[in-house]
Amino acid sequence: MRYLTPFIQKDLKKKMVFLGGPRQVGKTTLAKNLFDGHSGRYFNWDLDEDRRNILEKKWHDSDKLLVFDEIHKFPRWKNWVKGLYDTQCDRHQFLVTGSARLDVYRRGGDSLLGRYHYWRLHPFTLSETPKGVAPHDAYRRLMTVGGFPEPFLDNDETEARRWRRERFDRILKEDIRDLESIKNIQTLSLFVDALRKRVGSEIVLSNIAQDLQVSPVTLKKWLEALERMYLLFVLRPWTKNIPRSLQKPPKVYFFDSGDVIGDEGARFENLVACHLLKKLNFLEDRDGVRRELYYIRDKDGREVDFAIIEDGQLRELVEAKFADGQVSKSLTYFSERLNPSVSRQIVGSLKNPFSKGRLHVETPFMSLAELA
């Protein structure tokens, strides 16, 4: 059972549930497991027969749960779902899933506001691993094959590379085609590869644009599209109350740490970013309190990898180091001046954690293993 299952079950009793997340992260498996002996129907908009059944509303009154997957590809999906819910909510529960941000692809003039709860599903992490996988084995898998269910469970690096190539092809050649007005897929693929090599670094689109012979404006639109498709997520600089702050370019991380092209340090930083975002998304979807992830850098070059912001206020600073157990000078500097509730340095190969006041140097199996 995935970590969101009990919360979705609870919300389905009151409203529709929208479940977003990357392609192949396990949304379909989670949805089908919700049937749990009860009658229900699963429909996938990508399948011709299911698409016809959706439009003709072909299901039985006794089907308690109706699951509509990838229906956001239907141009009028929002009004269609609204009408269905308003007329049949006394007979059915409704779960809408998709591999794109369903809160963005709301096409049509009417609003679904107040009719649904939105949840975001993430890959496996140290805070959520299948039974029988020990923490240290889970960490090794996350650093080699990534956290998506199929490669994580197979635990085979060759098969994971093949799976990843096929997933990229599906997203770039099919999903992007269906939802975004992007035609130059070959150059888009080169752009994705360029981002995979720059994980954890500031992304200067004008430099990449020059290499790819496209405009920075085009790359900005592509980056936004890739973020909407849950292929990657973008962190922007947080500058409030920071002395000598400077607006800097964004950073990019991938939902699958296996997507990173680079050394163990870059992959570990991506792994930490994925864990933090999963936790913040879960808490925001559960509690309704806005939580965001940023990075910090000032004009003097001091930088902290991650800053957790809750309702506009800095709550936590996090630095990711794969092998360096020495306390980061930048983390110390910003901790003293910004006074967050806690500051952490998470070290991938650390054996003996320690603390200096409110600054904690930890292993990945400490704070990363907590979902809430």
> How many distinct structural domains can be found in the chain?
2
253 and 353 assigned to the same domain: yes
In a domain, 173, yes or no: yes
28 and 164 assigned to the same domain: no
113 and 241 assigned to the same domain: no
Distance CA 60, CA 125 (A): 38
157 and 90 assigned to the same domain: no
- Mean pLDDT, consecutive 10-residue stretches, the chain (372 aa), reads 95 95 96 84 96 95 94 90 94 93 57 88 97 96 97 97 94 84 90 96 95 95 93 92 68 96 95 98 96 93 95 95 91 95 95 90 94 88
For residue 33, the model assigns a pLDDT of 92
257 and 180 assigned to the same domain: yes
Going by C-beta distance under 8 Å and a sequence separation of 6 or more, which residues neighbour residue 234? 223, 227, 250, 251, 252
Structural domain span for residue 230: 135-369
For residue 109, the model assigns a pLDDT of 46
In a domain, 125, yes or no: no
Which residue in the block uniquely carries the two structure tokens 């109706």? 66
For residue 243, the model assigns a pLDDT of 60
238 and 295 assigned to the same domain: yes
For residue 102, the model assigns a pLDDT of 78
In a domain, 290, yes or no: yes
For residue 140, the model assigns a pLDDT of 97
For residue 242, the model assigns a pLDDT of 65
- Whole-model pTM: value is 0.94
25 and 97 assigned to the same domain: yes
